[in-house]
């Protein structure tokens, strides 16, 4: 698989998330201060769309049972979550957001 256009950067406000379909895969696209992150859009706990959740401090809170994931790493941060979220590589080209479903997303630098 290769980079696929997923959305326009201008369609996601800073601090917001949208849900898109990328080649049949539900993907959540996050804009955190102008940097785009992509994850699978379905919660790992049950059937809920994370694009309908809430963002705070780099975390997405699931709208169904309030489980939280780290947007940058996909790490499950609290109960009832037991499984991390899949992340995807994302980059911006002009106003296009491109996603590669075969590459994991960016990781923060190890401190
Ligand atoms: Fe997301 Fe339960 S469906 S925490």
CA atoms within 13 A on the CB side of 103: 14
Ligand 1 neighbour 83 (Cβ under 6 A): no
ipTM above threshold 0.90:
yes
Cα–Cα dist 42/82, whole Å: 14
Both tokens of 2, joined, read 């290769």
Confidence of residue 109 (pLDDT cuts 50, 70, 90): very low
| Candidate from 65, 76, 77 with most ligand 1 atoms within 8 A of CB, to mutate | 65
* DSSP SS3 for 52: helix
- Assign 23 a pLDDT band (cuts: 50, 70, 90): very high
pLDDT tens digits, one per residue of 26-74: 999 999 999 999 999 999 999 999 999 999 999 999 999 999 999 999 9
Tens digit of each residue's pLDDT (9 = 90 or more) over 79-94: 999 999 999 999 999 9
Rounded to the nearest angstrom, the distance between the alpha carbon of 43 and the centre of ligand 1 is: 6
Instruction: Give me the pLDDT at residue 56, please.
Output: 96
Q: Tokens standing for 12?
A: 């996601």
Reported as a single tens digit per residue, the pLDDT across 92-108 is 999 999 999 998 886 65
Average pLDDT over residues 7-14: 96
Burial bucket for residue 91 (CB in 10 Å: 0-12, 13-18, 19+): middle
């Amino acid at each position: 698989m290769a980079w696929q256009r997923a959305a326009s950067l201008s369609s996601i406000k800073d601090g917001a998330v949208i849900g898109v379909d990328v080649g049949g895969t539900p993907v959540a696209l996050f804009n955190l201060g102008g940097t785009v992150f992509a994850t699978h859009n379905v919660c790992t706990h049950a059937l809920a769309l994370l694009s309908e959740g809430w963002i705070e401090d780099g975390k997405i809170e699931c709208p169904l049972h309030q489980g939280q994931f780290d947007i940058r790493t996909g790490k499950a941060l609290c109960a009832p979550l037991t499984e991390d979220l899949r992340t995807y590589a994302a980059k911006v080209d002009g106003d296009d957001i491109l996603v590669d479903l075969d590459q994991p997303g960016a990781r923060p630098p190890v401190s």
